[in-house]
Each structure stands twice: as C-alpha cells, then as structure tokens.
C-alpha cells in the first residue's frame, strides 16, 4: 500500500520513515513538509520513497494513498490531522494529536464522519511485557486494584536541545507531562481498564534553561474504581549520557498493586516482577521474561506490531491499536493536571 510521511523535522520523523521502509505491507512512500527548503534538502531516502513535496493537497489527492503518518509540531497537528481524515485517508498521528482536548475531539469527529481509522501513536501498548501485564490483570486473579505507581525520569533539558520547539509552550502545548508522561498515563488505563477521574498535581520548571514548559511533575491520581495512584516524571538525569536519542538515559518504573498480588515493570526491560496467588510448592513472587525482538522500527518490534494491527483495522479484520478516544482521554487528564497545578487543588477530569 502507498503511505505518506507528513513532517520531516519532528524528532521522530527519521525513525518513522525507517519503520515504513521496513514494513513489507508498505510499497511506496511520499514525503511532505510545509517548508520547501526542508523538502529540497531531502536526499534520496530509502528505496520506497518516490516523491517529496511541500504541496499537501497533491499528496492527499492521490486515490491510491491509503494512510498517512503525521509527525509535526503540536500546534500544527490537529488541523493537519483533520485535513488527512477529511480527505478519506487513514491516519496514524504522533501524540498528542492536538494541544487541547477540544482539538483532539474535533479530529475524532472528523475521522468518524469520514469512516477512516485514526490512531494515536502509543507503541508501548505493544511491548510484550505490557501485553502480558494487561492479560494477567484482566483475568481477575490478582483481585481488586488498590494502587498504581509510576516513575519516568530521563536526561536533563540541557542534553535535549533546549532551543527546540518542544520547550516552547506556544508551539508544544506543554512539557514533560504532555510529551513523555502521556505514554505512562495511557498505560495505566490500558493495563487496568480503569479511568483516572481526579488529579492533584504539581508541574514545575527546574532545569535552569530558558524554557517555559514543565520539566518535572508529580501527580496524585484517583481512579473510578476507588484505587489511587502516583506519577513522578522529569528531565532529571545528569549522568546518563547526552543526546536526544539515548537508550541508557531513562530510569522508570510501573507498578500495579492488587489485593492478591502485584505486577512491576522496570521500563525498557523484558522482565516483569509478578506476585500472584502461589501454585503448590512455588513462591508467590517470581520473574517472567518477555523479550522484545530487535527492530529498526519506532518502538522496536512493538512498533511493528502497532502498525500491523493498524493495517488489519484498515482491512476490517480487527480493532485499531488505538483511537482518537485514547488520545482524548490522556489529554483530559493532562488538562486536569495543569489546572490542578495552577489552582492548588484537586481537579475532576472532564468526561
């Protein structure tokens, strides 16, 4: 099938192009960017790239174009996403899809009206550890959910190009919570099936760099079931190496605590620590391993699986990997967190 990559200067543009190149289902690729100079500077990238242009109408007018991958600045994303789905093309959009819940809701309505599949790019759902955690939680063997705890720390702003639009609120719409914390908020819902209903939050800027977005956050969460949770995230690591792409530059943890056991995932790790009702002669606490196959795709093999479920949904053979409703859910939690931090009180998540 023919695909388009929309946006060539986003931090994930190169790896998303690599993903499209390696997927055999994709036979040809068009590249687009709003800046003609960026388009002109594109070398012959990959065997499948057939054309690069600054004319989006020309891209979307192609009858045989099946889907587009959108990765652009956040303040530009929602309007472009609407153009894609209104043209009848299926869509995978980089998170957050839009700066506000209202923008994302408009994309959702447009996609439903056009009858196309529109997904937000949350490939961590397809990490085998998360698939296993979700399956175990959904069996009910661990009992009632009590608490959720999450930590996501990465390299300091000084190592991540502080001059980037990612650290300018007018263009990014937010900071650490919106750009990286969204993955964790999504996984909390995906694994448990529970909804975050109330948020108490502190969003601060502590890097010392000339930025105007949050670079450290602490959230207290209430779930619809009555369970509670905590989330701590920040650009805090000083000695984990420099550069934007740095696999060693993370310290993270995700834990689900239930009445009869718990599941813990040291992030970017193939292992789950599981405490569950013991079988005869076995310890209740054990480790389970779910290796992630190496791949050049965004998110490694999990990213490939994300795209393949998207392709199956296009063919009417299953549900999409994510929907705009998933993007909207996360955006509403983030909006509540920002309001909580401003007002100094717990805020109800808009439903």
pLDDT digits (tens, 9 = 90+) for 130-168: 999 999 999 999 999 999 999 999 999 999 999 999 999
Of the candidates 223, 123, 151, 181, which has an alpha carbon nearest to the alpha carbon of residue 330? Answer: 181
Identify the pLDDT of residue 286.
86
C-alpha span between 254 and 233 (Å, rounded): 12
Mean pLDDT of 331-346: 98
Do 44 and 72 contact (CB within 8 A), yes or no?
no
Tell me the average pLDDT across 207-228. 98
- pTM of this structure: 0.95
Instruction: Residue 90: name the closest of 121, 69, 62 by CA.
Output: 69
Mean of the per-residue pLDDT values of the chain: 94
Domains of the chain: 2-122+315-322 (3.40.50.720), 124-295+327-348 (3.30.360.10)
pLDDT of res. 351: 83
pLDDT of residue 291: 87
pLDDT (average), residues 240-267:
86
Taking Cα atoms as reference points, which of 114, 119, 103 lies closest to residue 60?
114
pLDDT average, residue stretch 213-231? 98
Comparing 291 with 53, which gets the higher pLDDT?
53
């Amino acid at each position: 099938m023919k695909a388009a990559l929309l946006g060539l200067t986003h931090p994930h543009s190169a790896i998303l192009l690599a993903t499209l190149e390696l997927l055999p289902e994709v036979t040809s690729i068009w590249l687009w960017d709003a800046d003609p100079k960026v388009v002109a500077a594109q070398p012959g990238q990959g065997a499948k790239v057939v054309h690069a242009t600054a004319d989006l109408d020309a891209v979307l007018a192609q009858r045989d174009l099946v889907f587009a991958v959108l990765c652009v600045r956040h303040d530009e994303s929602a309007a472009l996403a609407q153009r894609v789905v209104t043209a009848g093309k299926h869509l995978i959009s980089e998170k957050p899809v839009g700066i506000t819940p209202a923008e994302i809701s408009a994309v959702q309505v447009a996609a439903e009206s056009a009858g196309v599949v529109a997904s937000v790019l949350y490939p961590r759902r397809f990490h085998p550890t998360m698939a296993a955690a979700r399956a175990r939680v959904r069996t009910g063997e661990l009992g009632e959910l009590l608490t959720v705890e999450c930590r996501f720390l990465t390299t300091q702003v000084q190592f991540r190009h502080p001059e980037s639009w990612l650290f300018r609120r007018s263009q990014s719409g937010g900071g650490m919570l919106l750009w990286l914390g969204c993955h964790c908020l999504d996984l909390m819902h995906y694994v448990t099936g529970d909804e975050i209903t109330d948020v108490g939050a502190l969003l601060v800027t502590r890097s010392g760099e000339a930025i105007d977005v949050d670079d450290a956050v602490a959230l207290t969460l209430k779930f619809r079931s009555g369970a509670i949770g905590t989330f701590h995230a920040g650009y805090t690591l000083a000695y984990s190496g420099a550069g934007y792409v740095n696999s060693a530059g993370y310290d993270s943890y995700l834990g689900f605590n239930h009445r009869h056991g718990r599941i813990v995932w040291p992030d970017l790790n193939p292992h789950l620590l599981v405490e569950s009702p013991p079988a005869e002669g076995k310890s209740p606490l054990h480790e389970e391993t779910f290796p992630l196959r190496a791949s050049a795709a965004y998110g490694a093999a999990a990213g490939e699986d994300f795209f393949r479920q998207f392709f199956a949904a296009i063919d009417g053979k299953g549900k999409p990997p994510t929907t705009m409703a998933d993007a909207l859910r996360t955006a509403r939690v983030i909006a509540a967190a920002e309001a909580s931090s401003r007002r100094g009180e717990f805020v109800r998540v808009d439903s």
